Structure 1
Amino acid sequence: MENSELEKSKTFIIVEILEYIPNSVVIKTILRKTTGNVNVVSFDSGEAMTEKTSPFDTFIQVIEGKAEVIIEDKANILDTGQSIIIPAHSRNTIKANVRFKMISTVIKSGYEDLV
């Protein structure tokens, strides 16, 4: 897995920076900062991320294909162009019934005011 950011001030086509790899979930970092990160992720058909929880909200946007995003046992089907926010501290998993690509954005700052 590559953790380096993309080159700044250089244009790119988001769906083309990451390929599908058979039987894999592939993650490419767009930006990684202490205050949050942006990744593009490709899922081959039949693949899934392990169920997890995060202390931060996570914004998911499908950029190609169709994803199943399960939040607290409720399934949400997202088509290309659709988005969802996974609330902080919610059990969630992301599944590929068909292959798809998505952008995942986590912003870690701003939670200080909620304490």
Structure 2
Amino acid sequence: MNCPVEAGKVFSLSNLLPYKEGQINQQLLVNNESVRLALMSFDEGCALSEHTAPGQAFVFALEGKGVIGYEGTEYPIQAGENFQFAKGAKHWVKADGKFKMALLLIFE
């Protein structure tokens, strides 16, 4: 995997991934059998449909606002806030304007 982050350098996660008009853009920073760290940018109105988490997951809102649907309840989230999904939990994510997040997924 070609990680865009250089060791020994300060960086901003939100600056690593641009928005793509009308799309969700994704960049994997780490992806192995134990853990996945992905950056995602959602153009305005874009959403991930409902699915289940294959492991414990953490969302880190980096820029803008979004809404997380989790087990039938909606939770607004904005830059600087975080959210946790239990393994197997049903969830979805929708941008409320442009939205960037990091997703840490832990496999057991």
Q: Can you give the 5+ residue segments of structure 1 that lack an aligned partner in the other structure?
A: 110-115
Deviations 1:11-45 (A, max 9, x none): 33211111111100000111111101101100001
Three-state SS of the structure 2 residue aligned to 1:52 is: strand
Q: Which runs of 4+ in 1 moved over 4 A?
A: none
Matched, 1:6 2:4: yes
> Is the CA contact (8 Å cut-off) linking 1:72 and 1:92 kept in structure 2?
yes
**Aligned partner of 2:3: which letter?**
E
2:92 aligns with 93
Q: Can you give the 5+ residue segments of structure 2 that lack an aligned partner in the other structure?
A: none
Distance in 1, matches of 2:95 and 2:62, equals 13
Kindly report the root-mean-square deviation, in angstroms, between the aligned alpha carbons of the 2 structures. 1.4
Distance in 1, matches of 2:84 and 2:100, equals 16
Distance in 2, matches of 1:19 and 1:34, equals 27
Question: Identity across aligned pairs (percent)?
Answer: 21
> Is the CA contact (8 Å cut-off) linking 1:6 and 1:31 kept in structure 2?
no
In the comparison of the two structures, how many residue pairs are matched? 107
Three-state SS of the structure 2 residue aligned to 1:99 is: strand
